[in-house]
Amino acid sequence: MDEHLDRLWRSANKIDMPIAFTKSKIIAEVQRTLSHLKVKRAYIRIVVTRGEGEITLDPQAAHENNLVIIAKELNENPSWWYDDGVEVIIADIKRTSSESMDPAVKSGNYLNNILAFNEAVKQGAFDAVMLNHDGFITEGTTSNIWIIKDGVIITPPLKAGLLGGITRAKILELAQREKLSFKEENIRATDLKAADEVFLTSSTKRVVPIVKVDDQQIGSGKPGKKTQELLKKYLSSLN
């Protein structure tokens, strides 16, 4: 929760939106919402808006933040994601640049991601991987992207133009703690397709093996051994 709220505050600061609520207040409201839902595993979305006001582009017209907490039961992810792996595409839609709408801002502005995901749906893929305007990998539509090449775990740097995922940070911490070889560096689509293993991470999906990119099979076409080991280590770290 702390990491998610810290990112909420960083995102609000980047778009010059003061938050009137305290973190303790938001946590209390989340707990109150969950107490009414009464489920073992829940999806939670916390939304803070600038507030009500006249229809205008002027952010100063809004006042008194609105806090919206959405919670619903979250079923366990399908086992085939982890047992068989998933297929992704490289989207034609480019990731919005940091100079336009910074992808590091966790906001409700998902149109860029929606258009890319729609490409994946049309091609029967699990997700779409988005490139920046320099041709480097940024992220999936709701996940971070990783490759393993010659035993080294690699993920794009934040400066490539992506949202710094909470799970991404946890995996980097885990790799450092376990003394695994890892680095953050730019990855091209050709690197993705030539990798020994590829996987994606997110808070809800955790660590999901990718076995095909476009028409290119990754490795043996089965979830990679190191990816599966990372998933086990990650799940153990949550307990």
Distance CA(206)–CA(199), nearest Å, equals: 10
**β-strands 197-202, 144-149 pairing:** antiparallel
135 band by pLDDT with thresholds 50, 70 and 90: very high
How far is Cα 230 from Cα 180, in angstroms, rounded to an integer? 10
Backbone torsions φ then ψ of 120, nearest 5 degrees: -65, -45
pLDDT above 80 for 151: yes
pTM: 0.94
Q: Which run of H or of E encompasses 216?
A: strand 216-217
How many CA atoms does the CB half-sphere of 21 hold within 13 Å? Answer: 23
- Position 63 pLDDT exceeds 90: no
Exposure string of 41-51, with b = 16+ CB inside 10 Å and e = fewer, is: eeebebebebe
Q: What is the pLDDT of residue 238?
A: 86
pLDDT at 239: 76
For the chain, give the percent of residues with pLDDT over 90: 97
pLDDT value at residue 217: 98
What does the alpha-carbon distance between residue 230 and residue 191 come to, in Å, rounded to a whole number?
Answer: 20
Q: Structural domains in the chain?
A: 2-73 (3.30.470.10), 80-238 (3.20.10.10)
**pLDDT > 70 in the chain, percent:** 100
* Residue 29, H or E segment: helix 23-37
Chain mean pLDDT for the chain: 96
pLDDT of residue 19: 97
For residue 219, is pLDDT > 80?
yes
Q: Is 69 helix (H, G, I), strand (E, B) or coil?
A: strand
